[in-house]
């Protein structure tokens, strides 16, 4: 008979950080100048590791040649930093499969909580910390309609440690949206077709309703034990955020925002991996990248993440002539040359998608430059070697000029440096003066020489 205690501990752990969240606004560097920090954060996730030999550039920090996988990024080489030699140490302890540990810790710098989700034959809970993007959203989201935007291409609809990389607090995952049409409706459809008077009315009714709802949850909260209280508190915080943002009208900053066009995707929704025919993935991915750029161009949000599938991702790549599932190929990377070749092909395709995103960001002008100049982009994976399931020598790409703070066009090699440090660097580049992030035992401060 299986008798186990459920993840109550998990939720208990969540209480501390959730309560701490409102502090974040106060942590923004006072009097920061607009030019000195990045305004936006864009995180991109690709699954199943990399063929490191074909990933790692050759040459020196400033004079280097991109490897096979990164050929599509050659036009952007001078605008990116390729980073090797970071170890994801937080993933090397705690429960969960290799994929899950690497994934959960990727943006949180924390291990997995214990829990009852089964994956790869191991049980775990969700990640034990807030993710970088959500921490940033707490700071950068204050003036935008959406604190953050999470997009996912053929991500499994089921919420599970294998499918969630974003955490608003320890153990509290945030689901990405999969259907570009629904994302567009959320971003631009609110109040579409309503007269100004009708919009004003809706806003006023909303305010009155949400005030009552907030009072209701506040009253309930005080009557609950701590496990339930954590849960209801997350709900309360979410409602409060909506309430606080009711008055925000996005400023129209680019011509594209005056008449945003909906994605032209015919006859597919791709809400999740199940409903997404694998041959539609490129189309859906492109639609998401277009929306991502549109959302930040229109100042609807400052924090966006794009998640290509789950960790240990299982979709195939029929448009590349690859019928095998990505995860299955990963397990053959070091023993089957044919599989290895296919993986290189897959990773090159992902690099091509990344190049598309970068080009789009550079294509929207802002002030005297482009969106790219005031953004910070982080490209990451849950594994390094897909076959060994390694979490050492993790590959990253950093991009965006971050308001002019970053010296781009480099290949930076570290050795035995914890990956939590890159998360701290990202916080600093966005104007958050942190010295540590995630589990402190796996963090020694910001990356030196980034």
Partner 1 sequence: MFRSAKLIACLAVAGCMGDIEGTMDEPGEPPIDKSMNPEVPPGTLPPGTVPPPPSCQTLSPGPAPIRRLTRFEYNNTVRQLLDDTSNPADAFAPEEVALGWDNNAFALGVTPLVAEQYLNAAEALAEKATADLPKLLKCDPAITGEAKCAQTFIDAFGKRAYRRPLTTEDRTRLTKVYTDNRAAFDFRTGISAVVQTALLSSSFFYRVELTPAGATGPVKLGPWELASRLSYLLWNSMPDDALFAVAESGALTTREQIAAQAQRLLADPKAKAVVRRFHQQWLGLTKADGLEKDKATFPTFTADLGPLFRQESERFIEQVIWQGSGDYRQLFTAPYTFINAKLSTFYGMDPVTGTAWQQVTPTVGERSGVLSQGSLMATLAKNNQTDPITRGKFVREHFFCQTLPDPPPGVNVTVPVPTPNSSTRERFARHSSDPACSGCHLLLDKLGFGFENYDGVGKWRTTDTGRAVDASGEIAGTDVEGPFRGVRELGAKLGGSKDVRSCMTLQYFRFSYGRGETDLDECTVKYLNDAFAKSGYRPRDLLVALTQTDSFLYRPAIVAGGTP
Q: Please report how close the Cβ of residue 258 comes to partner 1 at its closest, in angstroms.
A: 24
Q: Please report how close the Cβ of residue 375 comes to partner 1 at its closest, in angstroms.
A: 22
Helix (H) or strand (E) holding 182: helix 180-188
Decide whether 155 or 357 has the Cβ nearer to partner 1. Answer: 155
Q: Please report how close the Cβ of residue 74 comes to partner 1 at its closest, in angstroms.
A: 32
Locus of tokens 């140490």: 89
Contacts 24+ apart (CB under 8 A), 28-34: 28/139, 28/431, 28/432, 29/431, 29/432, 29/433, 32/431, 34/403
Q: Please report how close the Cβ of residue 433 comes to partner 1 at its closest, in angstroms.
A: 26
CA–CA dist 247, 240 (Å, integer): 13
CA–CA dist 407, 450 (Å, integer): 8
Residue-wise over 256-282: b if at least 16 C-beta within 10 A, else e? bbeebeebebeebebbbbeebebebbb
Decide whether 174 or 424 has the Cβ nearer to partner 1. Answer: 174
* β strands within 232-353, DSSP E: 303-308
Q: Please report how close the Cβ of residue 63 comes to partner 1 at its closest, in angstroms.
A: 31
Q: Please report how close the Cβ of residue 356 comes to partner 1 at its closest, in angstroms.
A: 25
Contact status, residue 151 vs residue 306, Cβ threshold 8 Å: yes
Decide whether 56 or 163 has the Cβ nearer to partner 1. Answer: 163
Helices 8-20, 226-244: axis angle to 10 degrees equals 40
Decide whether 126 or 308 has the Cβ nearer to partner 1. Answer: 126
Contact status, residue 37 vs residue 430, Cβ threshold 8 Å: yes
Decide whether 67 or 316 has the Cβ nearer to partner 1. Answer: 316
Decide whether 39 or 342 has the Cβ nearer to partner 1. Answer: 342
Q: Please report how close the Cβ of residue 37 comes to partner 1 at its closest, in angstroms.
A: 24
Locus of tokens 């990253």: 396
CA–CA dist 169, 165 (Å, integer): 12
Contact status, residue 305 vs residue 173, Cβ threshold 8 Å: no
Q: Please report how close the Cβ of residue 67 comes to partner 1 at its closest, in angstroms.
A: 22
Q: Please report how close the Cβ of residue 170 comes to partner 1 at its closest, in angstroms.
A: 11
Decide whether 54 or 231 has the Cβ nearer to partner 1. Answer: 231
State how far the alpha carbon of 193 is from the alpha carbons of 146, 189, 425, in Å.
21, 9, 44
Decide whether 301 or 421 has the Cβ nearer to partner 1. Answer: 301
Contact status, residue 303 vs residue 136, Cβ threshold 8 Å: yes
Decide whether 395 or 446 has the Cβ nearer to partner 1. Answer: 395
Locus of tokens 């993840």: 7
> Which residues contact residue 448 at a Cβ distance below 8 angstroms, ignoring those fewer than 6 apart?
none
DSSP β-ladder status, 40-45 and 303-308: parallel
Q: Please report how close the Cβ of residue 5 comes to partner 1 at its closest, in angstroms.
A: 5
Decide whether 346 or 450 has the Cβ nearer to partner 1. Answer: 346
């Amino acid at each position: 008979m299986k008798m186990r205690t459920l993840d109550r501990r998990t939720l208990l752990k969540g209480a501390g950080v959730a309560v701490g969240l409102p502090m974040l606004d106060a942590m923004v560097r006072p009097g920061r100048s607009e030019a000195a920090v990045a305004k936006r954060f864009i995180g991109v996730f690709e699954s199943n590791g990399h063929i490191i030999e074909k990933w790692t550039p050759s040459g020196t920090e400033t004079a280097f040649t991109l490897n096979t996988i990164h050929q599509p990024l050659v036009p952007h080489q001078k605008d990116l930093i390729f980073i090797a030699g970071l170890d994801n140490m937080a993933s090397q302890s705690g429960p969960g499969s290799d994929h899950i540990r690497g994934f959960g810790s990727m943006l949180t710098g924390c291990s997995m909580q214990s829990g009852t989700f089964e994956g790869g034959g191991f049980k775990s809970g969700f990640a034990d910390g807030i993710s970088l993007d959500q921490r940033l959203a707490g700071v950068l989201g204050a003036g935008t309609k959406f604190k953050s935007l999470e997009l996912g291409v053929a991500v499994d609809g089921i919420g599970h440690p294998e499918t969630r990389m974003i955490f608003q607090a320890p153990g509290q995952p945030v689901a990405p949206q999969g259907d570009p049409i629904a994302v567009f409706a959320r971003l631009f459809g609110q109040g579409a077709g309503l007269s100004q008077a009708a919009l004003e009315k809706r806003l006023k009714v909303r305010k009155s309703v949400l005030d009552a709802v907030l009072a209701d949850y506040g009253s309930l909260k005080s009557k609950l034990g701590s496990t339930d209280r954590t849960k209801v508190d997350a709900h309360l915080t979410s409602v409060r955020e909506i309430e606080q943002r009711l008055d925000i009208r996005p400023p129209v900053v680019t011509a594209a925002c005056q008449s945003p066009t909906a994605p032209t995707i015919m006859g597919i929704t791709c809400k999740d991996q199940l409903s997404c025919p694998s041959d539609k993935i490129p189309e859906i991915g492109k639609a998401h990248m277009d929306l991502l750029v549109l959302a930040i161009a229109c100042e609807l949000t400052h924090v966006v993440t794009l998640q290509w599938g789950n960790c240990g991702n299982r979709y195939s790549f029929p448009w590349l002539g690859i019928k095998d599932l990505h995860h299955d190929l990963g397990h053959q990377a070091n023993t089957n040359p044919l599989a290895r070749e296919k993986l290189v092909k897959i990773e090159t395709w992902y690099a091509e998608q990344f190049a598309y995103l970068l080009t789009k960001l550079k294509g929207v002008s802002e002030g005297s430059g482009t969106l790219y100049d005031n953004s910070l982009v982080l490209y990451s994976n849950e594994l390094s070697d897909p076959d060994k399931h390694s979490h050492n020598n993790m590959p990253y790409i950093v991009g965006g000029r971050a308001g002019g703070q970053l010296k781009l066009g480099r290949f930076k090699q570290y050795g035995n440096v914890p990956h939590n440090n890159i998360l701290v660097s990202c916080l600093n580049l966005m104007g958050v003066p942190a010295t540590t992030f995630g589990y402190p035992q796996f963090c020694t401060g910001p990356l030196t020489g980034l």
